[in-house]
């Protein structure tokens, strides 16, 4: 019998970057179809700019400029460090200073900026360009196709630049997607404006194809929880703490350092004092133990994490809801008045409480605006407006805000403005598009 | 977080609009009068009116901020203007218990210097000493100051020297504070000497713990390491009382972490003691509140429709039940250290010595007084003194004459001693 030839299959190595740079992957990562991508760019860049300013204790002044071929966001923050730019170009890992922490952050996705970098390339199919100017450097990041490997190729150049204050990020918008940008105008301008409703300290100017509008801050000293504030043990579940410990351990391995449990504990709100740290360590028997003690080979010791969390909770007090930051009646009154509302119909309500150690604040405002032809709905979570209304299916009954507003005769065709905002350190969504917050009750 | 909270807030802000639009649906002509209707319906609320008049009312009640102002005094100063602005009658309890505290919480810097006094709505009793403190702002402040500044006084000259060693506050006097949500049990506790047998301070309020009571336990329990035992009914307000003593509320934020022991009625107690329940109707779902305050799912199911009061116990059973719980939580009598006991012993010896010497001196003094002649013109001299200073009483003037007489006698004796 003649010998049958066999095929020795070759294992091909393909780029993960290619996966990342596909339309399908970006839709999955952002939770939005391409027609909403101009809004995704706006939201992610504004969230980052606000967080950077707040972290540095700077009153945010942000400018958004949209031109036929570019979206640019400029802030007055401390400026993005060069190493952060390098890190975000590593598409094999997430880069986030927020993802593992439980805190009332605007976003904690960990890969938002990566999706923005890839977006022009995915829209164009051949090339894409993003420019970041900060700390005296201009970074040119270009995406192109490696014809041989059929994979995207990233080129990163940087040169000296005169920008000393803040960060300027320009996302080049491909000509082929120009109509997408024009179609998004109304929603883009509204989402940008929504930021000024939810952030009393923000001064924002938006220039759309040469037409400029600006909104001044109503309260530049507005107090709110800052991204740099220590997080509170009461906000964590054992799973969340386990996730944070794992992130620290991985980070420490990469840097070749060892962290003690005491160092880890000291980073939490209410545990910076040595007496409290000693009490936590004594309760758990982890005096002088390295954080790695909580790791049993490749897995984290859940019972040890639970005991540690119990001890940390016992030694600290929950954070009061008002410490998160309250937008406030005065600010919303100003915004509604500026929008032309009949202020005799203005209503504002605030409810705040703490549930199982987790503080939360709900604020709502309403006014009749006779000049409007349709309803304006401003919704947001942790001072970041939603591209989609995040209260579309709330609670076990999945009741929708739209249904409630309809029952209240505030349908889409009514000339009213309604604002609804939720602040809470732990907000979970059903999807990456953040279209529905998860509530267990 | 409860999802209904989100939509309740939305319904609240859109309520007036919804009413107007529904009215328009019933009667189309109302659309043309929408503006009038919406603007007219927007009368100033009592809260808004209170906010606008509060600072002026405080200044008026406190004489320009120079004196403490009672919450009700501020209410009287604000009431007229609030009623004029809103066209509605102001409920005095709503003002003193809610609006005024809310205003102070929302304007911490503007009211930082305000000295507002709230009513005493309960009492605090020390064992053995007989000291009772009304749970009002001023009284609690005074007691806390006395406790903080307490030092052992010098021996008192007088008869009889009490057996009680002078203390103020928990040190050497009580080892726990028993909070009872009702004022009516004190006679029973007195009759069975509950406070004395367990060295307990007993605090009672009419219902929810008042701010002053939380201030008191916040400071005392933390500084002196004494636990707070909470005795409450098996109902929603009983658990709320427990909750307000365990965590911060709108009215009071605890400065210290204190040990709070739930000594109140639980479902197990109700079933074990076969206590009689009564039906109850809640205006809203009590479950979130009960859950937050530590009730179990089974207890919540019970309390949705029923409640059991501490009063359901017969007195003897009630006392036995409390004593059993005190035993379970290791509450025992206070026994000071040996140095303190020795100090008390020596002080007793000294008191007894003074008492012995004084008894002899008293007899001698009585004889001396009986032998002393009273002035013939005593009545006219007292009357002259009253005319000279109408603010003085007759007995003050008599005492002054005695002092003058004694002083004259002493100086005369001194002169004759010098001549000799």
B198-208 per-position pLDDT tens digit = 999 999 887 66
Domain that holds residue A48: 16-215
CB contact under 8 A, B248 and A353: no
pLDDT averaged over every residue in chain B: 85
A350 CB neighbours in chain B (<8 A) are 9
Residue A378: what are its φ and ψ, rounded to 5°?
Answer: -115, 115
Q: Which of A368, A396, A439 sits opposite B1 (nearest CB)?
A: A439
Average pLDDT rounded to a whole number, residues B93-122: 82
Percent of chain A that is helix, strand, coil (3-state, to 5): 35, 25, 40
Q: Which of A220-224, A227-231, B163-167, B263-267 has the lowest mean pLDDT?
A: B163-167
Q: Does the pLDDT at position A310 exceed 90?
A: yes
Q: Does the pLDDT at position A107 exceed 80?
A: no
Q: Which residue of B has its CA nearest to A370?
A: B35
Q: Which residue of B has its CA nearest to A343?
A: B39
Q: Does the pLDDT at position A254 exceed 90?
A: no
Q: Which residue of A has its CA nearest to B24?
A: A409
Q: pLDDT digit string (tens) for A153-189?
A: 889 999 998 888 999 999 999 988 888 999 999 999 9
B11 CB neighbours in chain A (<8 A) are 404, 408
Q: Given A261, A290, A314, which residue is the final one in a domain?
A: A314
Q: Which residue of A has its CA nearest to B19?
A: A408
CB contact under 8 A, A408 and B8: no
CB pairs under 8 A between A and B: 106
SS3 string of A130-184? EEEEECCEEEEEEEEEECCCCEEEEEEEEEECCCCCCEEEEEECCHHHHHHHHHC
B292 CB neighbours in chain A (<8 A) are 355
E strand or H helix that includes residue A360: strand A358-368
CB contact under 8 A, B39 and A418: no
The pLDDT score that the predictor gives to residue B416 is: 59
CB B143 within 8 A of CB B126: no
Q: Which of A234, A327, A349 to mutate to test the interface with B (most CBs of B within 10 A)?
A: A349
Question: How many structural domains comprise chain A?
Answer: 3
DSSP conformation class of A230: P
Q: Which residue of B has its CA nearest to A416?
A: B17
Distance from CA of B211 to the nearest CA of A (A): 18
Q: How confident is the model at residue A349 (pLDDT cuts 50, 70, 90)?
A: very high
Please report, for residues A103, B224, B344, the alpha-carbon distance to residue B334 in angstroms, rounded to integers and kept in the order given: 46, 13, 14
Average pLDDT rounded to a whole number, residues B331-341: 93
- Asked if residue A55 and residue A201 are part of one domain, the reply reads yes
Q: Where are the beta strands (DSSP E) in B342-414?
A: none
Q: Does the pLDDT at position B258 exceed 70?
A: yes
Q: Which residue of A has its CA nearest to B36?
A: A344
Percent of chain B at pLDDT above 90? 35
In whole angstroms, give the CA distance from residue B104 to residue A62: 36
- Asked if residue A280 and residue A361 are part of one domain, the reply reads no
- Asked if residue A376 and residue A244 are part of one domain, the reply reads no
- Asked if residue A356 and residue A337 are part of one domain, the reply reads yes
Q: pLDDT digit string (tens) for A196-209?
A: 999 999 999 999 99
In a domain, A165, yes or no: yes
Q: Which domains does chain B have, with CATH numbers?
A: 23-117 (no CATH), 122-328 (3.40.1360.10), 338-419 (no CATH)
Nearest to A32 by CA among A47, A16, A43, A45: A43
The pLDDT score that the predictor gives to residue B417 is: 57
The pLDDT score that the predictor gives to residue A110 is: 56
- Asked if residue A244 and residue A200 are part of one domain, the reply reads no
Q: pLDDT digit string (tens) for A354-403?
A: 988 899 999 999 999 999 999 999 999 999 998 888 888 777 777 889 99
Q: Is residue B317 less than 8 Å (CB to CB) from chain A?
A: no
- Asked if residue A309 and residue A326 are part of one domain, the reply reads no
Q: Does the pLDDT at position A109 exceed 80?
A: no
The enclosing domain of A417 has a CATH number of 3.30.230.10
The pLDDT score that the predictor gives to residue B42 is: 59
The pLDDT score that the predictor gives to residue A10 is: 53
Q: How confident is the model at residue B40 (pLDDT cuts 50, 70, 90)?
A: low
CB contact under 8 A, B17 and A366: yes
A320 CB neighbours in chain B (<8 A) are 248, 253
Q: pLDDT digit string (tens) for B261-302?
A: 999 999 999 999 888 887 788 878 899 999 999 999 999 999
Average pLDDT rounded to a whole number, residues B119-124: 73
Q: Which of A348, A391, A399 sits opposite B13 (nearest CB)?
A: A348
Q: How confident is the model at residue A265 (pLDDT cuts 50, 70, 90)?
A: very high
CB contact under 8 A, A404 and B10: yes
Q: pLDDT digit string (tens) for B42-78?
A: 567 889 999 999 999 999 888 788 777 778 788 888 9
A286 CB-contact burial (10 Å; exposed 0-12 / middle 13-18 / buried 19+) = buried
Distance from CA of A300 to the nearest CA of B (A): 29
In a domain, A263, yes or no: yes
A404 CB neighbours in chain B (<8 A) are 7, 10-11
E strand or H helix that includes residue B9: helix B3-26
Q: Does the pLDDT at position B209 exceed 80?
A: no
CB B261 within 8 A of CB B229: yes
Helices assigned H by DSSP within A339-419: 401-407
CB A224 within 8 A of CB A325: yes
- Asked if residue A35 and residue A163 are part of one domain, the reply reads yes
B residues 33..92 contacting A (CB < 8 A): 35, 38-39, 42
Nearest to A364 by CA among A351, A355, A376: A351
B3 CB neighbours in chain A (<8 A) are 394-397, 399, 439, 441
Average pLDDT rounded to a whole number, residues A295-308: 88
CB contact under 8 A, A439 and B10: no
- Asked if residue A134 and residue A89 are part of one domain, the reply reads yes
The pLDDT score that the predictor gives to residue A421 is: 96
Q: Given A299, A314, A329, which residue is the final one in a domain?
A: A314
- Asked if residue A307 and residue A194 are part of one domain, the reply reads no
- Asked if residue A265 and residue A165 are part of one domain, the reply reads no
Quick one: CA dihedral B147, B149, B151, B157, positive or negative?
negative
- Asked if residue A164 and residue A82 are part of one domain, the reply reads yes
CB contact under 8 A, B17 and A391: no
Q: Which of A345, A362, A364 sits opposite B17 (nearest CB)?
A: A345
Q: How confident is the model at residue B412 (pLDDT cuts 50, 70, 90)?
A: low
Q: Is residue B3 less than 8 Å (CB to CB) from chain A?
A: yes
Cross-strand bridge partners of residue B180: B204, B231
In a domain, A228, yes or no: no
Q: Which of B10-14, B17-21, B354-358, B385-389 has the lowest mean pLDDT?
A: B354-358
Determine if residue B199 is left, alpha or beta; phi over 0 gives left, psi from -120 to 50 gives alpha, anything else beta.
left
In whole angstroms, give the CA distance from residue B174 to residue B196: 9
CB contact under 8 A, A364 and B13: yes
Q: Which of A320, A394, A424 sits opposite B3 (nearest CB)?
A: A394
Q: How confident is the model at residue A54 (pLDDT cuts 50, 70, 90)?
A: very high
Q: Does the pLDDT at position A1 exceed 50?
A: no
CB contact under 8 A, A395 and B21: no
Q: Given A314, A341, A363, which residue is the final one in a domain?
A: A314
Q: Does the pLDDT at position B409 exceed 90?
A: no
- Asked if residue A292 and residue A184 are part of one domain, the reply reads no
CB A155 within 8 A of CB A130: no
The pLDDT score that the predictor gives to residue A205 is: 95
In whole angstroms, give the CA distance from residue A15 to residue A324: 42
Q: Which residue of B has its CA nearest to A359?
A: B1
Q: Which residue of B has its CA nearest to A315?
A: B257
The enclosing domain of A88 has a CATH number of 3.30.565.10
CB contact under 8 A, B1 and A394: no
In a domain, A220, yes or no: no
The answer to whether ipTM exceeds 0.85 is: yes
């Amino acid at each position: 019998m003649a010998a049958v030839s066999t095929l020795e299959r070759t294992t091909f190595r393909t780029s993960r970057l290619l996966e990342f740079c596909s339309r399908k992957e970006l839709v999955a990562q952002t939770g939005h179809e391409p027609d909403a991508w101009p809004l995704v760019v706006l939201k992610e860049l504004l969230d980052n700019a606000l967080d950077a300013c707040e972290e540095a204790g700077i009153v945010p002044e942000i400018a958004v400029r949209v031109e036929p071929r570019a979206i640019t966001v400029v802030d007055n923050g401390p400026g993005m460090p060069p190493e952060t730019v390098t890190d975000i170009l590593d598409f094999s890992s997430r880069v986030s200073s927020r993802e593992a922490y439980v805190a009332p952050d605007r976003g904690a996705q960990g890969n938002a900026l990566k999706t923005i970098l890839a977006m022009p390339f995915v829209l164009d199919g051949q090339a894409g360009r993003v420019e970041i100017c900060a700390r005296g450097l201009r970074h040119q990041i270009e995406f192109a196709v490696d014809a041989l490997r059929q994979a995207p190729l990233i080129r990163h150049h940087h040169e000296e630049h005169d920008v000393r204050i803040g960060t300027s990020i320009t996302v080049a918008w491909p000509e082929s997607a120009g109509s997408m940008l024009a179609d998004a105008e109304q929603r883009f301008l509204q989402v940008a404006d929504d930021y000024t409703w939810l952030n009393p300290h923000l001064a924002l100017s938006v220039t759309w194809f040469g037409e400029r509008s600006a909104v001044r801050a109503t309260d530049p000293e507005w107090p709110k929880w800052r991204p740099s504030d220590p997080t509170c043990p009461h906000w964590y579940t054992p799973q969340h703490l386990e996730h944070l410990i794992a992130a620290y351990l991985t980070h420490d391995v990469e840097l070749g350092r060892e962290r003690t449990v005491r160092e880890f504990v000291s980073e939490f709100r209410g545990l910076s004092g040595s007496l409290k740290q000693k009490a936590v360590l004594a309760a758990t028997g982890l005096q002088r133990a390295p954080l790695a003690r909580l790791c049993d080979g490749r897995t984290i010791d859940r019972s040890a994490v639970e005991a540690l969390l119990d001890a940390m909770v016992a030694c600290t007090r929950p954070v009061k809801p008002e410490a998160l930051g309250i937008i406030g009646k005065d600010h919303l009154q100003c915004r509604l008045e500026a929008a032309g509302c009949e202020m005799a119909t203005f209503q504002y309500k605030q409810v705040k409480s703490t549930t199982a150690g987790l503080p939360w604040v709900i604020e709502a405002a309403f006014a009749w605006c006779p000049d409007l032809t349709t309803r304006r709905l401003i919704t947001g979570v942790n001072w970041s407006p939603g591209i989609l209304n995040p209260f579309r299916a709330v609670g076990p009954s999945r009741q929708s805000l739209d249904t409630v507003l309809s029952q209240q005769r505030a349908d889409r065709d009514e000339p009213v403005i309604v604002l609804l905002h939720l602040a809470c350190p732990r907000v979970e969504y059903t999807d990456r598009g953040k279209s529905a917050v998860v509530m267990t009750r | 977080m409860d999802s209904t909270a989100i939509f309740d807030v939305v319904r609240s802000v859109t309520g007036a609009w919804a009413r107007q639009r529904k009215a328009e649906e019933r009667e189309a002509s109302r659309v043309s009068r929408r503006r009038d209707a919406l603007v007219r319906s927007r009368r100033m609320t009592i809260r808004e009116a209170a906010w606008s008049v509060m600072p002026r009312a405080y200044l008026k009640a406190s004489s320009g901020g120079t004196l403490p102002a009672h919450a009700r005094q501020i209410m009287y100063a604000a009431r007229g203007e609030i009623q004029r602005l809103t066209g509605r009658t102001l409920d005095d309890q709503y003002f003193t218990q809610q609006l005024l505290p809310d205003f102070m919480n929302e304007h911490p810097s503007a009211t930082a210097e305000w000295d507002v006094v709230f009513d005493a709505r309960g009492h605090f009793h020390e064992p053995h000493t007989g000291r009772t403190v009304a749970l009002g702002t001023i009284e609690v402040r005074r007691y806390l100051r006395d406790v903080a500044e307490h030092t052992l006084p010098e021996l008192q000259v007088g008869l009889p020297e009490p057996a009680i060693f002078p203390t103020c506050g928990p040190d050497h006097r009580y080892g726990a504070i028993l909070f009872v949500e009702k004022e009516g049990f004190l006679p029973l506790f007195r009759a069975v000497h509950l406070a004395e047998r367990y060295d307990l301070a007993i605090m009672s309020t009419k219902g929810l713990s008042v701010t002053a009571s939380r201030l008191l336990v916040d400071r005392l329990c933390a500084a002196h390491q004494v636990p707070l035992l909470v005795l409450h009914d098996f109902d929603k307000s009983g658990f709320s009382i427990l909750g307000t003593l365990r965590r911060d509320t709108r009215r009071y934020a605890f400065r210290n972490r204190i040990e709070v022991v739930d000594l109140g009625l639980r479902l197990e107690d109700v079933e074990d003691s076969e206590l009689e329940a009564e039906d109850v109707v809640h205006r809203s779902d009590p479950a979130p509140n009960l859950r937050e305050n530590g009730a179990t799912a089974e207890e919540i199911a019970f309390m949705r429709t029923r409640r059991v009061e501490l009063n359901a116990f017969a007195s003897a059973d009630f006392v036995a039940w409390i004593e059993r719980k005190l035993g379970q939580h290791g509450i025992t009598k206070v026994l000071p250290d040996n140095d303190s006991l020795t100090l008390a012993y020596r002080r007793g010896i000294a008191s007894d010595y003074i008492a012995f010497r004084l008894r002899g001196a008293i007899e001698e003094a009585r004889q001396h007084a009986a032998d002393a002649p009273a002035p013939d013109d005593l009545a006219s001299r007292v009357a002259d003194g009253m005319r000279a200073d109408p603010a003085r009483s007759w007995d003050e003037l008599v005492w002054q004459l005695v002092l003058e007489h004694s002083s004259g006698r002493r100086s005369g004796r001194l002169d004759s001693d010098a001549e000799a």
